[in-house]
Structure 1
Amino acid sequence: MKIINRLRAMPVTIVLIGINILVFGYTALTGMDIWQGNGGQLLHLGANYWPLTISSHQYWRLLSSMFLHAGFFHLWTNMIGLFIGGFFLEPVIRSGRYGCAYIVTGIVSDYMSIWYHQSAVGVGASGAIFGIFGVFLALLTTPLFRWEVRKAFLAYIGIFVVLNVIAAVVSEGVDNAAHLAGFLSGAIMGYIFFFTLTGADGERLSR
């Protein structure tokens, strides 16, 4: 019952996951390789690319690219991260703040991604997901949560950060610019959100 109640308290996360899956299904129906993706097709569908997004003023790509993925594994890992982040954070900060954080950090990270990689085609929700974890980490450093709760989750976030640093070092194709921008912008939003939350909100983390 506790898990069911938790799922009911994270509607934005579930909707976002559903949209990402539906968009991926659509890209597959258009003939895109579901395992590796295709840069040309993704670009046609709304991927992020400096000459189009910025130079040609197609700013909508900063948003649309957040819902496109270059293959099933890309989608799967991102949706797992989104579910975990939403499972814990959305019930605490509520759906409005959560949705705002996802969109804002996603746009910031997508801009930084193409600013840093101006010749690359960018897709994926990872920047926004890093933003969600940035919000979570920032709030964990505040008195919003009881210390015993904070201690456990700080360890969890620490592991998440360490694993992603390792992945950034050993893996090719990891968009570190997007991840870092998403995480830092999320942390800033987390500290802003802190002043709009109460102790009762913090208690929902451990329920």
Structure 2
Amino acid sequence: MMKPAGAGAGPGPGPGTGAVEVRVERPQRPPVHHPNTARLRARPYYRRWTPWLVPAASIACVAVFLVTMFVNDCPNRSAGNCTAGFLGRFAFQPLKENPLLGPSSTTLLKMGALDVSKVVQGRQGWRLITCIWLHAGVVHLLINVLCLLFIGIRLEQEFGFVRIGLVYLISGFGGSLMSALFIRASISVGASGALFGLIGSMLSELITNWSLYANKVAALLTLVLVIVVNLALGILPRVDNFAHIGGLISGFLLGFVVFIRPQFAWINQRRVAPGPHAAPAERKHKTYQYILWIVAAILLIVGFTVAIVLLFRGYNANDHCSWCHYLSCVPTKKWKCNSSPTTCTAMLQGNTLNFTCEGKGIHRSYIVAEATQDKIDQLCNQLCS
């Protein structure tokens, strides 16, 4: 501000010679609001969950296996030759019968293994769920539990126990449905379908939240490689690759539905104080996320409905796909893929036992004099193993 001379009675030698006082004030610029700057510096926040469901599921699988081995009771139900007999009641079936160190097929069936005939004719649909918690042996159990802990804990930390539990159970159910439609001559057990569902959901989660990842291509290639390797191992005998495929498809579709994340811009705008220069409101999800969500939900509902209807109508998918059985097992010079079980029936007439075994092209009758329960059990285990 400039004050002219003589404008006031300020101190000085005299009139006309008053000092000129000059004050210069620099105008303060109004603060410029940069909404984008605040959003770029704000760190997006996603809740981190404490995992407990996955460890609990792993403990449940181990507990069910111990109960299964207790019920199996190899020393008393088999004619000796149990593997690891020092375990007593928990000893394993002979290796030629079960190389995975586990119970007999009869015990697994009693505990709730998936058997298509019992599901369809016996209307025991609950086996589509109970078979997920059963395992054929120690080797089978360890592989599945380690994979569940390795994959499931990370996902539960990211998405919580509710969504992980849904993916695990629904994927396991989808794997059981696929197995029941294609594998008609043997029982099926294991959590492999549910585990493949978790892997498939990781793949769809990467796709639906594509814009949020930094190393997109590397993550995608890693997941695809893991899936391909595991499906390739599924063509070995005694491995139900149809359960893997069904679980993988179910989990892949579920990932689009339950693992959708909001965009960074939408999260950060909620942390910036509103002002006159606020940026336009951001949408919570991108358009392609909504499209994937709708398509995946429709495919899940239609797919499960059709599969359940076909299963309980006795549909055999192999009748309309002559090559599909190669997806689960490819025969070589070292192994065969005919895994149809041998079923035995006994008819007691007086002290004579007429024993007939059918399966794998076998049809034989045996006459046993003075048949006792011990002899019946011993012969049954020898012939049906």
Give TM class, smaller chain.
0.7 to 0.9
Residue 149 of structure 2 aligns with which residue? 83
Larger radius of gyration: 2
Check if 1:68 corresponds to 2:134: yes
Of Structure 1 and Structure 2, which has the larger fraction of its residues in helix?
1
Residue 29 of structure 1 aligns with which residue? 70
Check if 1:198 corresponds to 2:262: yes
Alpha-carbon separation, structure 2, partners of 1:90 and 1:145: 21
Contact 2:197/2:250 (CA < 8 Å) preserved in 1?
yes
Contact 1:52/1:58 (CA < 8 Å) preserved in 2?
yes
Count of residue pairs the alignment pairs up: 192
Contact 1:23/1:68 (CA < 8 Å) preserved in 2?
yes
Given the superposition, is the C-alpha separation of residues 103 and 121 from structure 1 closer, same or farther in structure 2, using an over 3 Å criterion? same
39-48 or 151-160: which moved more?
151-160
44-53 or 32-41: which moved more?
32-41
Given the superposition, is the C-alpha separation of residues 199 and 92 from structure 1 closer, same or farther in structure 2, using an over 3 Å criterion? farther
1:173 to 205, 215, 238: 238
Q: CA-to-partner distance for each residue in 1:43-101, whole Å, 9 max, x for gaps?
A: 00111101112221111111111110000000011111111111221122211011011
1:19 to 56, 60, 78: 60
Q: Unmatched 5+ residue regions in structure 2?
A: 1-47, 75-91, 94-100, 265-385
What percent of counterpart residues are identical?
Answer: 29
TM-score, structure 2 normalization: 0.47
Q: Unmatched 5+ residue regions in structure 1?
A: 1-5, 201-207
Residue 156 of structure 1 aligns with which residue? 222
Alpha-carbon separation, structure 2, partners of 1:9 and 1:18: 17
Alpha-carbon separation, structure 1, partners of 2:126 and 2:155: 27
TM-score, structure 1 normalization: 0.85
Residue 125 of structure 2 aligns with which residue? 59
Contact 1:85/1:132 (CA < 8 Å) preserved in 2?
yes
1:180: Cα distance to partner? 0.6
Q: CA-to-partner distance for each residue in 1:153-198, whole Å, 9 max, x for gaps?
A: 33432231122133134x2122111111100111110011244x33
- Which of structures 1 and 2 has the larger relative contact order (alpha carbons within 8 angstroms, sep 6+)? 1
Check if 1:134 corresponds to 2:134: no
Of Structure 1 and Structure 2, which has the larger fraction of its residues in strand?
2
Alpha-carbon separation, structure 2, partners of 1:16 and 1:184: 22
Aligned alpha-carbon RMSD (Å): 2.0
